[in-house]
Structure 1
Amino acid sequence: MDKEDARFQKLEQLHERRKQVVRLHRAGHGVMAIIALTGLSYPAVRRAIDLYESGGVAALKPTRRGRSAGQGRSLRPEQEQAIRRTICEKRPEQLKMEFALWTRAAVMQLIEQQCGIKLSVRAVGNYLARWGFTPQKPIKRAYEQRPEAVQQWLEQECPAIEKRAQAEGGEIHWGDETALVNTDVRGRSDSPRGHTPVTMAVGGTRQKLSMISTVTNRGRANWMIIEGSFNHERLIEFLRALVEDGKRAGRKVFLILDNLGVHHCKPVKAWIAEHKADIEVFFLPSYSPELNPDERLNADLKHAIGTKVPVRTKAKLHAAASEHMTFIEAYPERVLSYFQDPLVKYAA
């Protein structure tokens, strides 16, 4: 008869089998008789009896098999901590590595450079999973962005604007401009594997519009679609409408913009100075569009336009954009959802 291999039994099952062996042993059965009765191998029976005689019934409970946590790892805890910190704080090119992103191959090279230990790609993947790292789509950030300026904005400048707006009964508006074109087709289309789908060609009827808008963390959206070129005159026109809207609500406008050149031109500065009792303008850190909640409105609009059949005329593009913006304006909860993005939640 084939003997039962205790190595492949569950711990609970092995514990019961050992207690069975001990009961038979205490009843006066010999080792070979116990083997015949239980079907266990000689080492398993002998092991159970030896454990019982040396430590009693408590010694029969099997210990967990396999390696203990951390046993057999190539990296020491302090080396793991250093690698994790480097991945979180640096990009590969900052370390003169030929990688754009922290892939397993890049981390493998980093470990070899910093620790002198060569691991397989699979082992590196195991380390990353153990550290809680997952593959994610990176955020695009300009090389020119100054981290210290962003930190100062988040910790000092923006809280100060919020404090002033609250004290003066004002409302903070986050503003931005965007361009709309009728050839911008977005999303994915199902197609047989190996056959890339083709979108409808618009040919020479490419049409373009501009839009300036603002959003608030109270769910309000203001917008103006511009058919011609966007310049200081159109910006002042929008600012004037924003101020009139603020007066009707009895609130001063605290407007936060990016550093587009037209925002800093002399005519705009002069107009703002004349209306400083009704509106004040502040500027985000340079090259930091990810900090602006209004960028989420722009993405919402472009996705809505890009998933429809491309229109051939500027009038239809204008109508499609106006329709979606009117929809956004009527649903404050949609505007509020823009502020739930982790990168702009500070403005909520």
Structure 2
Amino acid sequence: MAPAGREVVRLRVVAALESGAVRTYRQAAELFGVSERSVGSWWRACRGGGREALAVRRRRRPGPQELISDEERGTLFQAMADYTPEELLIGGPLWTRALVAELIRMVTGVVMAERGVGTWLRRHGFSPQRPDRRSYRQDQAKVDAWLKEEYPAIAARAKAENAAVAWADQCGLRSDTAPPGTSWAPKGQTPVVRVSGRRFKVNIMSAIAARGALYFTVFTGKFTAKTFTTFLDRLARQAGRKVHVIADRHPVHRGKSVTTWLAANRERVELHLMPGYSPELNPDELLNADVKRHVHAARARSADDLAHETRRFLHRRQNQPRIVRGYFHARHVRYTLE
């Protein structure tokens, strides 16, 4: 194994012992395919001298133009793809330029400035990106089953029945939420946005279809079974045909009242629940984000004012089916178009 690869293995072994993922040298050795003696040596070295003691000593460097060899570069990129800095005992959950520089230094012995790291990463096809969030409670097996079996079966049934498929979700807007976005201003002079200072909230229940249709209701009360079934009834009437509604596993969606209503309206509406803790699979989440980005709840003077602004924005989106269709082309929900 190349020195860079050995460096990553040492960091992973010590990280596993520190986190409690493995409890003995033997378990660590079996898990990572190394000897118990090596595990013990690395652990004692790290306890006595920190991460620096795990560094692999190098006697040479590659040529003058590229100080990091192709083999070492491959190891670095693989480590960044497979692990977070936290898992390698370097830092937090995100790969910043500073932490990439630290990884490069520890794995290859090459010292790079943060600016140079950014240039180097861009040269090799990397870019700074906002990470997606995933719940620890998400069941990947259920997600895979949804993508490969359950959703394709729903889409096939809807096509055979000449029915529509609508993706539904609910969200809320609060007046005490900070205004979205940023504003340019002189350094040291933070810009000020005037807000009402009062606390109130409106809720939105919406559904979208891949061809650009948008259905919604805005209300100030709690989200209840009555609210949901009323929305489903209106959705079916406006669609003019049977609708297969896909939603998350909110307790209201699984309640007895909703189940009873669906049984009585099975020819008009069929509800399908997505895997738990998987909002990224629902295109309607992108509409929610769009609403929160453009409706400035903090500037509303009352709940009625906020409800009015929210309805006005959603009516505008109803007349912009091109934008609604665009939600379905985001990377995580593109499967809905296949």
TM-score, scaled relative to structure 1: 0.71
- Alignment partner, residue 50 of structure 2: none
Do residues 346 (structure 1) and 335 (structure 2) align?
A: yes
Alignment partners' CA distance in 2, 1:96 and 1:256: 41
Do residues 315 (structure 1) and 304 (structure 2) align?
A: yes
- Alignment partner, residue 119 of structure 1: 111
Do residues 336 (structure 1) and 328 (structure 2) align?
A: no
Give how far 1:125 is off: 4.2
Q: 1:235 aligns with which of 211, 228, 239?
A: 228
Structure 1 residues 153, 117: closer, same or farther in 2, change over 3 A? farther
Whether contact under 8 Å (2:236, 2:243) holds in the other structure is yes
Do residues 150 (structure 1) and 150 (structure 2) align?
A: no
Q: String of CA shifts for 1:48-105, please: whole Å, max 9, x gaps.
A: xxxxxxxxxxxxxxxxxxxxx9875444433322322232233233344422211233
**Could you tell me which amino acid in structure 1 is paired with residue 183 of structure 2?**
S
Cα root mean square deviation, aligned: 2.5
Alignment partners' CA distance in 2, 1:237 and 1:287: 25
SS for the counterpart of 1:159 is helix
**Could you tell me which amino acid in structure 1 is paired with residue 75 of structure 2?**
A
- Alignment partner, residue 303 of structure 1: 293
Whether contact under 8 Å (2:212, 2:325) holds in the other structure is yes
SS for the counterpart of 1:213 is strand
Structure 1 residues 192, 76: closer, same or farther in 2, change over 3 A? closer
Give how far 1:195 is off: 0.7
Structure 1 residues 190, 84: closer, same or farther in 2, change over 3 A? closer
**Could you tell me which amino acid in structure 2 is paired with residue 119 of structure 1?**
V
Give how far 1:112 is off: 5.3
Alignment partners' CA distance in 2, 1:147 and 1:94: 20
| 1:249-288 aligned within 5 A | 249=240, 251-288=241-278
Alignment partners' CA distance in 2, 1:126 and 1:324: 41
Alignment partners' CA distance in 2, 1:88 and 1:197: 38
Give how far 1:163 is off: 1.7
Alignment partners' CA distance in 1, 2:200 and 2:137: 32
- Alignment partner, residue 195 of structure 1: 189
Give how far 1:201 is off: 3.4
Structure 1 residues 82, 163: closer, same or farther in 2, change over 3 A? farther
SS for the counterpart of 2:203 is strand
Alignment partners' CA distance in 1, 2:139 and 2:86: 17
- Alignment partner, residue 238 of structure 2: 245
* Structure of higher CA gyration radius: 1
**Could you tell me which amino acid in structure 2 is paired with residue 153 of structure 1?**
W
Structure 1 residues 238, 119: closer, same or farther in 2, change over 3 A? same
Give how far 1:319 is off: 1.5
Alignment partners' CA distance in 2, 1:327 and 1:109: 49
SS for the counterpart of 1:189 is coil
Equivalent pairs, count: 274
Give how far 1:124 is off: 4.4
Give how far 1:118 is off: 4.5
Q: 1:171 aligns with which of 158, 164, 181?
A: 164
SS for the counterpart of 1:105 is helix
Q: String of CA shifts for 1:25-50, please: whole Å, max 9, x gaps.
A: xxxxxxxxxxxxxxxxxxxxxxxxxx
Whether contact under 8 Å (1:297, 1:338) holds in the other structure is yes
Identity of counterpart residues, as a percentage?
34
Alignment partners' CA distance in 2, 1:146 and 1:286: 8
Structure 1 residues 202, 177: closer, same or farther in 2, change over 3 A? same
Structure 1 residues 313, 126: closer, same or farther in 2, change over 3 A? closer
Whether contact under 8 Å (1:206, 1:312) holds in the other structure is no
